Amino acid sequence: MGWDLRQALRHYRNPRLARKILEKIREIAKDLEVVKIMHVCGTHEWTITHWGIRALLPENVVVRAGPGCPVCITPASDIDSAIKLALDGVNVLTYGDMSRAKGSRMVSLEDCRAQGGRVGVVYSFMDAVKLARSNPSQEYVFLGAGFETTAPIVAYAVLKGLPENLKIISSHRYVPPAVGLLAESEDLAIDAFINPGHASTISGMKAYKPYFDRVRKPMVFAGFEPLDILLAIYMILKQIKDRNPKMENEYRRAVTWDGNLDAQKNLREVFDFDDGYWRGVAIVPDSAMNFKEKFSKVDARKIYGLASGKGDHFPSNARCAEVIKGLIDPPECPLYMKSCTPATPIGPTMVGVEGTCRIWAQHKVVGIKCRSGVCEIGSQPPRAKRMFEG
């Protein structure tokens, strides 16, 4: 006691320590071949890009962004369904970024509001509950997207009892099986994973165990400060060098082996975990949180006869699917920062604040050495130098 958490967290940006870790990373990397690391969390991408971490790593240590943006992987057909309801006079509520992602006909919920669609934005599902409760004569549908970080509050509210006039389209997805799928992909050939920090506070590390056992590739659970990421990379390289792959926890202040048992209980009580489509990626087994039969009363899919989510539907030339899967970097898309910008997003990864294209665009990464070599026309943001090298 006697010290403050905020103070402790400041040390996770300590430049002296960062330089030291980088030295160690470079030292270990000398003895290794190319190491391809994937993270599956948009906020990890933000930390990595914001602090310019890629440019500081040795050339043979490659960090790629996987499908860690919930808005990006929400199936186009679910957006279409919500748009149709909004145009039919149902009040559709969703999170801010979700309302800007375009469905299969290149229309977003926000666009449909301009055509008279009824669309509202909420910060929390609890706000949707309050709204529906105070307007009992109106019909509401909540488009619920997000991973296990976001889904438990919906499950909690459903168990508490929703107002009669509020239904939910559940597009929620569970991350561990997706990591399993990515880890087995030969196209991607990823050597190690930085596992999500906050989704894992819910699922616990244990949820990844079956997938780890199958692939035996290093998986390190990491936080969101620059030192968290550097430490995670160091831990991964050390495991590879020692030929001792394991599940390791860098983010011990938040992630535990068991996770949040109350939240898990809520999720398992309300949802079945079915095969589900991730836009741009694939069908991921056991990853879609669909309402159990006994909650049909709140399930908008059942009530309005909506199909289960599927479909990529990206415009031609757009390479969103490859960006979402981590196969290419955003500047390799011909539309990046030309017709597709944060102000005029074409694909979902330019919309969500956790989308790789949006993060790179906001940090003005127009020129960085891409894996294909074609994008080498500039330099990293100056921020990294100030933080770590100065």
Partner 1 sequence: MRLCYAVPGKVVEVGGEIGVVDFGNGVRREVVLAMVDAKPGDYVLVHAGYAIKVLDEEEAKKTLELYSQILGLAEVR
Contact residues toward ligand SF4 (CB under 6 A) are: 318-320, 323, 330, 333, 335-336, 340, 346-347, 349-350, 357
Rounded to a whole number of angstroms, the minimum distance from the CB of residue 263 to partner 1 is 5
Binding-site member from 52, 66, 68, 347 for partner 1 (CB under 8 A):
68
Question: Among ligand SF4, partner 1, none, what does residue 201 contact (CB within 5–8 Å per kind)?
Answer: partner 1
Q: What are phi and psi of 171, to 5 degrees?
A: -110, 20
**Interface residue with partner 1, options 108, 239, 266, 349 (CB under 8 A):** 266
Can you say whether residue 305 is alpha, beta or left, with left for phi > 0 and alpha for psi between -120 and 50 degrees?
Answer: left
How many other CB atoms sit within 10 Å of the CB of residue 6?
7
Say whether residue 162 binds partner 1 (CB under 8 A): no
CB of 335 to ligand SF4, least distance (A): 4
Contact between 66 and partner 1 by CB under 8 A: the answer reads no
**342 is an interface residue for partner 1 by CB under 8 A:** no
Q: What is the DSSP letter of 299?
A: B
Place of tokens 């005029």: 344
H-helix or E-strand containing 65?
Answer: strand 61-65
List 50, 84, 107, 156, residue binding partner 1 (CB under 8 A): 156
Local structure of 172: helix, strand or coil = coil
State which of residues 138, 185, 260, 379 lies at the interface with partner 1 (CB under 8 A).
260
Does 253 contact partner 1 by CB under 8 A? yes
Integer Cα distance of 209 and 246 in angstroms: 10
Identify the sign of the CA torsion 377, 45, 105, 107: negative
C-alpha to C-alpha distance for 63 and 374, rounded to whole angstroms: 18
Contact by Cβ (8 Å): 95, 70:
no
Q: Which residues bind partner 1 (CB under 8 A)?
A: 3, 5, 8-9, 11-12, 14, 16-17, 20-21, 24, 41-43, 68-71, 95-97, 123-127, 145-147, 149-150, 152-153, 156, 196, 198-199, 201-202, 224, 227, 231, 250-254, 260, 262-263, 266, 352-354
